[in-house]
Amino acid sequence: MAYTLNQINQMTQEQFITALGPTFEQTPEIAAQVWNYRPFTNLEDLHHHLVKVLRSLSRDQQLTLIRAHPDLGARVAMADASVREQNQAGLTHLSPTAYHQLQDLNRIYQKNFGFPFILAVAGHSQESVVANIKQRITNSVEVEFNQALKEIESIAHLRLQRWISEF
């Protein structure tokens, strides 16, 4: 999917939700609300409004969004964008040893925080993902909740950059 910013600005709400609903895992209602802020002057403006709506959600709604993300390296059905991102970081082709190590870390993280470990994996390798989860696993729940939202914002920005050109 590739759109220009002009096309995005001219979409009906239904078209907009179809195009940008996948920006946030299983949470197209964010795109539905952002449609009302059109026209967007640039990609940063669009991202700003997406983040604004994300940050205006209740804590329970934000937690639902965080929990909609798949475990990194998991061999489960997930959104096409997540598959692509994890594949680029080498997380869909882990050796059995690396797979079990990452799944063990995911389980510990999930037990500690009640939600999956989230990392914008662009530019990461299997090793740096493992290093990140090991470093963050000792944080407080509040720190990790906020970090998860920041990572989701980064993921959204990266997806928008792939999906939309400004011209």
Q: Which residues participate in catalysis according to the annotation?
A: 69
Q: CA 76, 80, 81: angle at the middle one, nearest 5? A: 110
The SS3 of residue 165 is strand
β-pair partners for 164: 3
Tell me the torsion sign for CA atoms 3, 55, 136, 111. negative
DSSP at 36 = G
Q: How far apart are CA 29 and CA 67, in angstroms?
A: 16
The SS3 of residue 164 is strand
